[in-house]
Amino acid sequence: MHGRLEKKMSNTPITLKLLAEKLKISVSTVSKALNNYPTINEHTKKHVQDMARELHYIPNKSAINLKERKSRIIGVILPNLLDHFFTRSIYGIEQFATQHGYQIIIRQTKDDLAEEMRSATMLLKSQVDGLIVAISKNTQDFSHFNEFENLGIPIVYYTRNPSFNLNCHKVLGNTFKGCYEATELLIKRGHRKIAYLGGPKMISFTHDRFNGYINALKDNDIAFDVNLVAYTDFDKENTIAAIQKLFADVNQAPTALVAFKELILFDAIKYLRSIDHPQVKEIECIGFGNNSFISYLDLPPIASVEENPESVGENAISLLLKLLDKEIEIKNYQKVMVDCKLVVH
Amino acid sequence: MHGRLEKKMSNTPITLKLLAEKLKISVSTVSKALNNYPTINEHTKKHVQDMARELHYIPNKSAINLKERKSRIIGVILPNLLDHFFTRSIYGIEQFATQHGYQIIIRQTKDDLAEEMRSATMLLKSQVDGLIVAISKNTQDFSHFNEFENLGIPIVYYTRNPSFNLNCHKVLGNTFKGCYEATELLIKRGHRKIAYLGGPKMISFTHDRFNGYINALKDNDIAFDVNLVAYTDFDKENTIAAIQKLFADVNQAPTALVAFKELILFDAIKYLRSIDHPQVKEIECIGFGNNSFISYLDLPPIASVEENPESVGENAISLLLKLLDKEIEIKNYQKVMVDCKLVVH
DNA sequence: AAACGCATTTCAAACGTTTGAAATTCTAAC
DNA sequence: GTTAGAATTTCAAACGTTTGAAATGCGTTT
């Protein structure tokens, strides 16, 4: 149940020097033996490695980092940790980073530019080796990231396209295609009056998704109706206002709805139910997200656009590590697209 | 819009040595000036600090950590990051840690002991200065944490009470009181047949909550009925089985329900609706969690026991840092209770 | 028996910081 | 103008690791 290794350990950590003393050889030999240098005799290597294992030697990361002039820390800046998309993306980033000997520091901006700037400063002081950033909804100026560039610290932008910043690395969801497929599915199910509920106009994917919607309509010979489009943000009141606009005229009301985000969709449906909209039960909706709570809703969306946040995150960190390893030249700007998947419920 | 500070920076980081050379004084003076040593002349202090600011000097953390024999990293082990309780507790931990110059590394165990053991080993190799742990649902043996104890690395257990491990620091929610108040509210609303749906028996708070339930009944002269108690875990099928047991006899069915976790409550309600239980709309429920999705449910719980996860997390890290600062002796085992709050919807 | 070549090990400096002890400069009193 | 004493600065070692250069040991060749 316990014990057997009760060796009574000293509580000072084991160092190379200590191992060297025990084995009566030099520190450099020990270091090289553990790092498997070819010039070291196989016999001594074994001795050293055995001893290291026996004494539970753990290399001191601070010393190594100091020597290598690295921190092995990646900074992650994102708008909101309570949003499932970001939580899941963090999961992907974390996994991959840890597997490659890196740690991450997460900063939430609450979609606020000032907070984003503060985060940048803070992460600079933490001496991150690299940065992964989902910009705030109103980031147009990128000068708060200049200092990273000056220091040669690579930045990968993810999820949110920094369209004002041409020369940069980005990893984005292929949200155009996702929205195209969602719209297409609704058309296939016989809908002709399909509304699009978009997000903050400053966020790039709002437009990509809108274009997916438009293109699906066009490819299926459905005329675009400007009255079937409305925009909101992450604020409930604005969502309700948008829905009111879309469903103002009961006779002309849409029979289906594509929303840029599932959570916003929930607010929309809730509102329509609260005013007892006559066709509410017939309205079919699709949003981006694939939230696990969907299964508890009485009027759930008929499908979800799964954005694969873990994969987006993983692609971002993977690219960043390649930049850090100089596997990709820092000025050789990359753009990675991650596919969405339409999940029918 | 940009510029004005376009100083054209070198891309090698600024060090004390560099500052010293610029100022033509010794490195130690620079160091002491920046650290505000009383032996340093105020005049030179100002010079040094001005120069440091001008050149954007950032102290090298690795070097400091090496010198101080610290990593300034806290390991956090918890069952599941997709659970809102833990996400929110992480938020509290993260905030506090960062403010005090610490970083955190998070490990998910998926409530699996083997994974918890692996996490412990991994964090040992990361040389964490301290550990915050929410044990897995079947952790009874704590030997995988022995090495931390040997090395004098403090551990704070949180949320889940390690009842098999007497001598340890813990920060727990006052879940007894929370459940007492929830039950009491239902009684006040006229219910007499109140069911209790408990969680995995290995998790300590299952019993604390049960005791809260029992005591509320007793204090209100309601006889305890063993048929009104059932247990489940985080698995949907088991929850359904438990509900089937509780509602087997329609005439004797409970009119109210207290659940050890809101998410489980959602499954329960969903099931009752799916079988069209005759009294389903009259059943009043309360669970632990206060999930924001509640507002989208058609039959929402009438109240939630808000567990204040941020506060639990913050208390845990705060205690840990006190242990690290020797403000509290490591053998002077602490127990901190964080109150819940009944939120009526 | 000296000299060469090879395998293996050790030396020593470096990474950037901190800090007690030692050295230097300054002030003021005699 | 010497000197005690304080104020200020510098020295030097240390934290634990890595790594190219230098040194050592040893067998082989001549």
Picking from B159, B142, B146, the residue whose alpha carbon sits closest to that of residue B78 is B159
Picking from A104, A293, A291, the residue whose alpha carbon sits closest to that of residue B90 is A104
Kindly report, residue by residue over A270-310, the tens digit of the pLDDT.
999 998 888 888 899 999 999 989 999 989 999 999 999 99
Q: Where are the alpha helices (DSSP H) in A58-161?
A: 61-68, 84-99, 113-125, 146-150
Q: Does B298 touch chain A (CB under 8 A)?
A: yes
Is pLDDT of B4 > 70? no
Q: How many other C-beta atoms can be found within 10 angstroms of the C-beta atom of residue A337? A: 14
The reply to whether the CB atom of residue A186 sits less than 7 A from any atom in nucleic acid chain D is no
Chain B residues whose CB is inside 8 A of the A152 CB are: 11
Q: Does A58 touch chain B (CB under 8 A)?
A: yes
Chain A residues whose CB is inside 8 A of the B66 CB are: 60, 62-63, 66
Q: Does A71 touch chain B (CB under 8 A)?
A: yes
C-alpha A104/C-alpha B90 separation (Å) is 14
pLDDT of residue A342: 96
- Assess contact for B85 and B307: CB atoms under 8 A: yes
Chain B residues whose CB is inside 8 A of the A63 CB are: 62, 66
- Mean pLDDT within A197-212: 92
Gap from A23 CA to D27 C1', Å: 26
Q: Do B105 and A105 lie within an 8 Å CB cutoff?
A: no
Picking from A230, A304, A225, the residue whose alpha carbon sits closest to that of residue A268 is A230
Chain B residues whose CB is inside 8 A of the A147 CB are: 9, 56
Q: How many other C-beta atoms can be found within 10 angstroms of the C-beta atom of residue A125? A: 13
pLDDT band at residue B252 under the 50/70/90 scheme = confident
Phi-psi region of A72 (alpha: psi -120 to 50; beta: other; left: phi over 0): left
CA distances from B281 to A183, A275, B28 (A): 36, 21, 75
The reply to whether the CB atom of residue A126 sits less than 7 A from any atom in nucleic acid chain D is no
With 0-12 / 13-18 / 19 or more C-beta atoms within 10 angstroms meaning exposed / middle / buried, residue B43 is exposed
pLDDT band at residue B204 under the 50/70/90 scheme = confident
Q: How many other C-beta atoms can be found within 10 angstroms of the C-beta atom of residue A215? A: 16
- Assess contact for A197 and A258: CB atoms under 8 A: yes
How many residues does this entry show for chain B? 345
Q: Do B126 and A141 lie within an 8 Å CB cutoff?
A: no
CA distances from B111 to B80, B119, B133, B202, B237 (A): 7, 12, 12, 11, 18
pLDDT of residue A10: 52
Cβ neighbours of residue A129 under 8 Å, at least 6 residues apart? A70, A71, A72, A73, A74, A102, A153, A324
pLDDT of residue A164: 81
The reply to whether the CB atom of residue B63 sits less than 7 A from any atom in nucleic acid chain D is yes
pLDDT of residue B166: 79
Q: Does A73 touch chain B (CB under 8 A)?
A: yes
C-alpha A147/C-alpha A123 separation (Å) is 11
Q: Do A106 and B94 lie within an 8 Å CB cutoff?
A: yes
pTM for this one?
0.87
Q: Do A11 and B94 lie within an 8 Å CB cutoff?
A: no
pLDDT of residue B12: 82
Kindly report, residue by residue over B75-129, the tens digit of the pLDDT.
999 998 888 899 999 999 999 998 899 999 999 999 999 999 999 999 999 999 9
